[in-house]
Amino acid sequence: MDLSDRKRKILQAIIDEYIGTAEPVGSRAISKKENLGLSSATIRNEMADLEEMGYLIQPHTSSGRVPSDEGYRFYVNSLMRKYQIGMEAVAQLQSMLVARVSQLEKLIRYAGAIASSLTEYTTVVTAPKEQNGKIKKIDLVMIASRTVMLIVVTRTVRSQVMNIDIDDENCAKLAEILNKNLSGLMADDISFEKIQDIQKEVEHRLSLHPKALIDIMHFVYDTITEDSETEIYVNNARSILKYPEYSDVEKAERIFSFLEDKENLKKLVESVSGDSIEAKIGKENDFEILQDCSTVSMNYSLGDRASGKIAVIGPKRMNYAKVFASLDLISNEIDKILGYYMNGE
Amino acid sequence: MDLSDRKRKILQAIIDEYIGTAEPVGSRAISKKENLGLSSATIRNEMADLEEMGYLIQPHTSSGRVPSDEGYRFYVNSLMRKYQIGMEAVAQLQSMLVARVSQLEKLIRYAGAIASSLTEYTTVVTAPKEQNGKIKKIDLVMIASRTVMLIVVTRTVRSQVMNIDIDDENCAKLAEILNKNLSGLMADDISFEKIQDIQKEVEHRLSLHPKALIDIMHFVYDTITEDSETEIYVNNARSILKYPEYSDVEKAERIFSFLEDKENLKKLVESVSGDSIEAKIGKENDFEILQDCSTVSMNYSLGDRASGKIAVIGPKRMNYAKVFASLDLISNEIDKILGYYMNGE
DNA sequence: TGTTAGCACTCGATAAGTGCGAGTGCTAAC
DNA sequence: GTTAGCACTCGCACTTATCGAGTGCTAACA
């Protein structure tokens, strides 16, 4: 499957052109634009070869050629030139990140927003899920009669308002007991049995309605083991309407539907595994509906334990070089900035 | 501007029909469908009158009629029949609300989701902004070296991770000082000067880098006065692609653009003032881009202090009766459920 | 042997022409 | 006041014609 240098150049030129115009590329256009010193006839011959090899597709006899999934794949693997992101954009990115570094959860949202503004495609990001964080502190605060806020501090804060029949005094005692028993433990290590043990202790030391106690323990357990409810954010979904591939409203609607369903997005983003930036082109995507899109995604880490994913969704003729460069930049800048601000645990 | 009973009936029939079909309504259709016992010719005469009065518009000579903004307005004010929401939908709504009642912030998101699933239109909701909540407690928790989490508990929890040069001991003392000075106060009452006063006290009692101290105080001030960053959620935006009014992708894109800009949404939603459900039809909308949409919005309260807004955005030919009924239902159900679970402060 | 000019051919897209039918306004009869 | 009837309008869908970008192939050329 080795391609002659000339074929490579021609394929590259065709794909570059197609990425720009979204119109089938003819031989004349290539012979004129690129200075390969070849006539359109020669290019035509080469294009016929490239089509036979599976890199190009001719939508109809007598139309120009369009890259096939394999063509894009070859392009991404070996043809694509490095894209240089402008200094201003980099500077802007840096300042945005610096401004948000104190709020990890927000950082990630911004990373997604930045990615979509750099690339002009739709992005999907997941907030870094904190894996098994150590419980630093548990707090119970009465915020109204019969209303208590439970606060669990790990590296982040989870809180939940509970409507529970308890008074100030019992509330304070309970907080003390919870702290004594739970702080310092990993959230994942806390089993329902453990909670039941604590419940027994509480039962002995405090006077509470049994019902209230059970309720509280349920809340505590739920809050601690809460699945962090991996937050997912979609940015710039509307960009889909911009490219001619989706001028068909029906199609666009199906994509939007897909993007509004968090379950889909979760699956989409969870399938990213490796450390490097990865593209899935057309049929390489697992989802039927994305088969004429491409997705480019990566894992990035926020410090030692947390990690998040970011995916860019665009038409197959996306500007891969730019997207790769953008993700790379974001990942590096986040690393840099966190390396600077965080000193391990 | 009084309309004869017959004209009212005809106008109502036309609008009902148009809401259903999105196609200009002809005289024959009305004379057949409604059993008014009138021929199409008579209806035609009445329609000509209604057009002259400004309630109907004829897109082209020899096409059926379409309601004008004034027509819709009249319909909403005096013609619309009450819509009865199905029992199953009501039951479903109730169970969803019950399941979320312990988490106010989530309740609101669900209210929006429910509204859009009931009406099948796009909804915009704002989280209830807590106005001037009393500070119940302030906490500082070391979560790593040089990393402190500041937690401010009002009726909700605000937290912020600060990267600050401080040790365990100073951290605890600082928390104590902050609590002593700030808890019990209204968040809005805390001025920057007040924070500076505290800063002086801290300066005397603790040994901290002056830089770290200033940083901390900034964080504290920011976190407390944080504009609650009124969260805004958009649900079911894609429904816009469903109605023929927006089969033009360009138009749809402009709407999506609008919906992705939180600033717009804020303005949109803030303009809702009254207590009752209100419709803005076509040109009545303040935003250029919504001039061929209608919005129906309301304020709803979550208990005594918090209040949120919810707006439904749809085509002018929206099912107003259904939308009104849906919002009404949601508002009532929320009231009911909160009345049950909350017992004042 | 590789390259290129030339030419006949294909076929989608656009424009122009045509007929249909839903709907109208008006008039005259009931 | 209501309605049947009729001539008229005009958007829409459909057909047909034209155009042109692009192709494959052949033959000539370096």
- Tell me the pLDDT tens digit for each residue of A181-220: 888 887 777 787 888 888 888 888 888 777 777 777 777 7
Name the pairing type of β-strands A306-315 and A157-163.
Answer: unpaired
Q: Report the pLDDT value the prediction gives residue B343, as an integer from 0 to 100.
A: 47
**Cα angle: B27, vertex B33, B37; to 5 degrees:** 80
Q: Residue B129: pLDDT band by 50, 70, 90 thresholds?
A: low
Closest CA of chain A from B235, distance in Å? 9
DSSP state for residue A77 in the 8-state scheme: I
Q: What is the pLDDT of residue A304?
A: 60
A260 touches chain B (CB under 8 A): yes
From the list A247, A245, A272, A269, the residue with the least C-alpha distance to A258 is: A269
**Nearest 10 degrees: CA dihedral of A121, A127, A128, A130?**
-170
A139 beta partners: A151
Residues contacting residue A139 through CB under 8 Å, at least 6 positions apart: A150, A151, A152, A153, A175, B137, B139, B151, B153
| Predicted confidence band of residue A344 (pLDDT cuts 50, 70, 90) | very low
Residue B104's pLDDT band (boundaries 50, 70, 90)? low
A62 CB inside 7 Å of strand D: yes
Q: Cβ separation of A342 and B104 shorter than 8 Å?
A: no
Residue B205: its H or E element: helix B192-205
Strand order in the sheet with A306-315: A232-235, A122-126, A306-315, A293-302, A278-281
**Which nucleotide minimizes the distance between its C1' and the CA of A45?**
D24
Per-residue pLDDT band for B268 (boundaries 50, 70, 90) equals very high
**Which positions in chain B touch A249 (Cβ < 8 Å)?**
241, 246-247, 249, 252
Please state the rounded mean pLDDT for residues B6-18. Answer: 94
Q: How far is CA B171 from CA A293, B65, B135, in A?
A: 51, 72, 19
B317 vs A187: which has the higher pLDDT: B317
3-state secondary structure of B261: coil
What is the CB neighbour count within 10 angstroms for residue B181?
17
- Would you say the C-beta of B61 is within 7 Å of strand D? yes
User: Buried b / exposed e across A274-313, counting CB within 10 Å, b at 16+?
Assistant: eeebbbbbbeebeeeebebbbbbbbbbebbeebebbbbbb
| A173 burial level (CB within 10 Å; 0-12, 13-18, 19+) | middle
Task: Compute the average pLDDT of residues B315-327.
Answer: 96
DSSP 8-state code for residue B79: I
CA of B220, C1' of D15: distance in angstroms: 75
pLDDT digits (tens, 9 = 90+) for A276-308: 899 999 999 999 999 989 999 998 877 665 678
Note which residues in 291-330 of chain B have CB less than 8 A from chain A.
Answer: none
Residue B282: per-residue pLDDT:
95
Of B163, B252, B342, the CB nearest to A341: B163
How many angstroms away from the CA of B255 is the closest CA of chain A? 9
* Mean pLDDT in residue range B35-48: 90
- CA-CA distance, B249 to B260, in Å (whole number)? 16
Kindly state the average pLDDT of the residues A145-153: 81
Angstrom distance (rounded) from CA A71 to CA A14: 10
User: Do B241 and A247 lie within an 8 Å CB cutoff?
Assistant: no
Could you tell me if residue A278 is left (phi over 0), alpha (psi between -120 and 50 degrees) or otherwise beta? beta
CB A234 within 8 A of CB A124: yes
Asked if B154 and B130 count as a contact pair (C-beta separation under 8 A), the reply is yes
Chain A, 49-108: which have a CB under 8 Å from a chain B CB?
Answer: 101-104
Closest Cβ opposite residue A238 in set B103, B257, B341: B257
SS3 A105: helix
d(CA B159, CA B226) in angstroms, rounded, equals 10
Chain B residues closer than 8 Å to A236 by CB: 260
Instruction: Please name the nucleotide lying closest to B24, CA to C1'.
Output: C23
Could you tell me how many CB contacts below 8 A there are between chain A and chain B?
116
Check whether A100 has a pLDDT greater than 70. no
Residue A104 has what pLDDT? 65
Compare A312 and B252 and report the one with higher pLDDT: A312
% residues pLDDT > 70 (chain A)? 91
Percent of chain B with pLDDT over 70: 91
Query: What is the CA B61 to C1' D7 distance in angstroms?
Result: 15
Per-residue confidence band for B318, with pLDDT thresholds at 50, 70 and 90: very high
Predicted confidence at residue A129, as pLDDT, reads 62
- What domains does chain A contain, in order, with CATH numbers? 5-79 (1.10.10.10), 87-128+230-341 (3.30.450.40), 137-225 (no CATH)
pLDDT band at B58 (very low <50, low <70, confident <90, very high): very high
pLDDT in tens, B206-227: 887 777 777 777 777 777 776 5
A155 contacts on B by Cβ (under 8 Å)? 143-144
The pair phi, psi for residue B294, each rounded to 5°, is: -125, 150
Contact A128, A308 (CB under 8 A): yes
Task: Compute the average pLDDT of residues B137-146.
Answer: 81
* C-alpha separations of A342 from A76, A191, A220, A345, B165 in Å: 35, 31, 30, 8, 11
The Å distance, CA of B6 to C1' of D1, is: 13
| Rounded mean pLDDT, B276-288 | 95
Looking at residue B153, what DSSP letter applies?
Answer: E
The confidence score (pLDDT) of residue B344 equals: 40
Q: How far is B156 from chain A (nearest CA, A)?
A: 8
pLDDT band at B102 (very low <50, low <70, confident <90, very high): low
pLDDT in tens, B197-209: 888 888 888 887 7
What is the Cα–Cα distance from B44 to A10, expressed in whole angstroms?
66
Say if residues B310 and B328 touch (Cβ distance below 8 Å).
no
The angle that helices A87-100 and A320-341 make with each other, rounded to 10 degrees, is: 40
Q: What local confidence, expressed as pLDDT, does residue B297 receive?
A: 94
> Which range scores top for mean pLDDT: A105-119, A283-297, A325-339, B235-249?
A283-297
A237 CB neighbours in chain B (<8 A) are: 237, 256, 260
CA distance B268 to chain A (A): 20
The predicted model gives B285-309 an average pLDDT of: 85
Q: Do residues B130 and B158 make contact, with C-beta atoms less than 8 angstroms apart?
A: no
How close, in Å, is residue A208 to chain B by CA atoms?
A: 19
Three-state secondary structure along A134-148?
ECCEEEEEEEECCEE
Picking from B238, B289, B341 by the largest number of A CB atoms within 10 A of its own CB, the best residue to mutate is B238
Query: What residue type is assigned to position A204 of the chain?
Result: H
β-pairing, A157-163 vs B157-163, is unpaired
Beta-carbon contacts of A50 under 8 Å, excluding residues fewer than 6 positions away, are A7, A10, A11, A14, A56, A65, A71
Q: What is the mean pLDDT of residues A27-55?
A: 91
B60 CA vs C18 C1’ separation (Å): 21
Nucleotide with minimal C1' distance from the CA of B39 is D3
Instruction: Give burial (CB, 10 Å; 0-12/13-18/19+) of A25.
Output: buried
pLDDT given for residue B345 in this prediction: 35
Of the listed ranges A193-197, B72-76, B123-127, the least confidently predicted one is A193-197
With an 8 Å Cβ cutoff, are A163 and B137 in contact?
Answer: no
What share of chain B has pLDDT > 90, as a percent? 42
Q: Which residues 6+ apart lie within 8 Å of A98 measured at CB?
A: A337
Q: Please answer whether residues A228 and A219 qualify as being in contact, where contact means their C-beta atoms are separated by less than 8 angstroms.
A: no
